[in-house]
Amino acid sequence: MRILSSFVGGRGHWGPMEPIARAALDVGHTVGVTCQQSMVEQVRKAGFDAWRSGPDYDGGGIRRPLIKPNQDHEDEGLRDGFADRAARMRAADLLKMEWDPDLILCDEMDFGAMIAAEKLGVPYASVLNNASGSFIRHSVVGETLNEVRAEHGLPPDPNLEMLSRHLVLSPFPPSLRHPDFPLPPTGHTIRIQDVVEAKPEEPTIYFTLGTIFNTESGDLFTRVLDGLRELQARLIVTVGPHIDPAEFGTQPAHVQIEKFIPQHEILPQCSLVVSHGGSGSMTGTLAHGLPTVLIPLGADQIVNSQRCADLGFGKVLNAFTTTPDEVREAAVEVLDNPSYRQAAARLRDELAAQPDTSYAVRLLEALT
């Protein structure tokens, strides 16, 4: 089977897909990957054939001031950036490819890949990358996607059945999904990572703002670092490829600041994770049964953080106004109150019970 793995955006979109694509490759299927230019080399280094399509959302590492998180602003970006611009460019690019897939595996925001698959008459499966399930809403993207569909001679899709027509793969604990946005009938939950209980040798806090929003966070790194540094705990901070750890000055011995460390190396030794609430970071945190403090900046992080508050596995702070003292107080509360870890452990156990990527491959094979 020839599988075209297509994603829009950066590591947060590729991360949930990569284990599925690798599992398909390992059992003998042919897998090609198409993505934005800034991700091509990273995907190739992971052992896949890859080539460019669509717009690039990397941003080149340009540092930007922090913008007050606002759901209306994020909805506008979803509609105009992904359902409009990216969908048009990616559909056009995929339809020009001479690769002839039997199936397209795309991320849930790669609307252009879904339209291209429908135009080509091949089945497609989407991999969810928004943990709460409430970020992509018909009221936000429906009208725009139907305009793009019409440009390709496809009929109107008033209920946006294109988002779940053949197969939807969710790598998140079922309880994490918002109850008002259940999985569709074609949805299946899977496990794409090892689920391991964290067992730190000493109190350890991990702080990250991901690989995209880290450069759009203004002085948030400094404020959070100032708050956490005063705690009697080891502190590990990752700032991403475009920020120099040296800009934060000399740190005490218990503070380690790096550009990047793989999460699977850090999380098993942690007691608490402080992050922006991206779906990948949050699910990695839960895979190790860890409580969290979330400071959402944009995209799906706002709705993810609301699920965190609803389910009780962490506290949520306002990125625009939070102070070092508030960060420190939130971290102490979450560390000291066992209810947060107990709630996280329940979600970890849910995740552990889900079938692994071999099940996802069998579902893909069944489509063809």
Q: Residue ranges of the domains in the chain?
A: 2-192+355-367, 204-352
- A 10 A CB-CB count for 216 gives 18
Instruction: Return the CATH superfamily for domain 204-352.
Output: Glycogen Phosphorylase B; (3.40.50.2000)
pLDDT in tens, the chain (368 residues): 999 999 998 888 999 999 999 999 999 999 999 999 999 999 999 999 999 999 987 666 667 777 787 888 889 999 999 999 999 999 999 999 999 999 999 999 999 999 999 999 999 999 999 999 999 999 999 999 999 999 999 999 999 999 999 999 999 999 999 999 999 999 999 999 999 999 998 999 999 998 766 666 778 999 999 999 999 999 999 998 888 898 989 999 999 999 999 888 999 999 999 999 988 888 999 999 999 999 998 888 999 999 999 999 999 999 999 999 999 999 999 999 999 999 999 999 999 999 999 999 999 999 99
Written as one letter, the residue type at 322 is T
Q: Contact at 8 Å (CB) between 314 and 340?
A: yes
CB atoms within 10 A of CB 183: 17
* Same topology between domain 2-192+355-367 and domain 204-352: yes
DSSP of 204-237, one letter per residue? Answer: EEEEE--SSGGGG-TTHHHHHHHHHTTSSSEEEE
Q: How many residues does the chain have?
A: 368
Pick the CATH number of 2-192+355-367 from 3.40.190.170, 3.40.1050.10, 3.40.50.2000, 3.40.50.300: 3.40.50.2000
